[in-house]
Amino acid sequence: METLISILILIGAFFTLIGSIGLVKLPDFFMRLHGPTKATTLGVGSILVASTLYYWSFENTLSLHEILITVFLFITAPVSAHLMAKAAYHKLKQESKKSKS
């Protein structure tokens, strides 16, 4: 169980790092939005699953906090990314209309 938890933590750290690098290095807003919403969500989710497994196997208790955080993370991250992309798209569309006028 310790090996599985360690692997999940390393996977989570790797995806979180990749998402953070993508946020800094990618040139466009829409590209930068992709890094944190996909990779970082998977990274934080893996770390939370590892934490849940730790409490379940070593503390003999089910940690409801980590489960709720994981559920809310996987629900809210795509919704917030969609809303930010939609707002940026509408702003870009308005700016292109103004420049044509």
d(CA 58, CA 28): 44
Residue 60 region by backbone torsions, left for phi larger than 0, else alpha for psi between -120 and 50, else beta: left
Which residues of the chain register pLDDT less than 50? none
Residue 101 has a pLDDT of 63
* Predicted pLDDT at 14: 94
Domain segments of the chain: what residues? 2-100
